[in-house]
Structure 1
Amino acid sequence: MKFLSFSLLSILSFTTQACMFPPKGLIEEHNNQFDLLILFSILVAVISLLIRFSHQKSRLWVTALLVLGFGYFPFILFNLDSYGIIGPGGACGRPGMVLIGQICLGGYLVILCYELFKYLKFRRKL
């Protein structure tokens, strides 16, 4: 049991990180990554809305609610990170912001896949 716990703690110790001073420009790089992720998220959301609009205008509200729903969770995380309630936890830079952008983009990509599936299903019926 001691060997197993020692081995487990040894392996997990390599995955921890902490830094006193972030490398120069890392915070700005994380902010730029966040901006790009949010920009692509908005682009994907607009494409999803346009796909729904092109084949089923009367049900555009479904996609709009999905976009708002998937955007709500990252917005809450962004506010919590801005207020310092959730933070990087000793990591350098602002990896929380990058994670929030990835969550937002991932959610909108799920919506885009759903809309493409519905669009192809609609086109196959014609």
Structure 2
Amino acid sequence: MKLIRDKGYVTPGDWGLFRAQMRKEQDILDRDWETKARKTEYPPLSTYGYLKRYMHSIPLSEKAKRNWEDRKSDFRIVFKVDEEKKELYYLAIGKRIKGFPKDPDDIWSLIKGRKLPEEESD
């Protein structure tokens, strides 16, 4: 969350809305991650069973009021489920930026340089 705030991905005035959206998404995933998330497509995340879910930084209704041109989900949550413990482990929450090559601020670019917990013992 610090990176999101420090990089200005969410304006200070929208920070409360963003945190509410994040709590809402976590509640949704806690209840029904099996149908609300999709598998990641590329290694190493796909190798280790990570999932993804898109989210809005502020409510869609607020985007409409502000006449945002692009009203698609603008953030991505990357997480994994420990089915034995019935717990979700959040690896990353960050900006979703469409296009190739990936923008350095896109969450996939930021994760790419990070060593995954599963790789720590390697």
TM-score (norm 1): 0.27
Relative contact order (alpha carbons < 8 A, sep ≥ 6): 1 or 2 greater? 1
The structure with more radius of gyration:
1
Q: Answer 1 or 2: which has greater helix percent.
A: 1
Q: Answer 1 or 2: which has greater strand percent.
A: 2
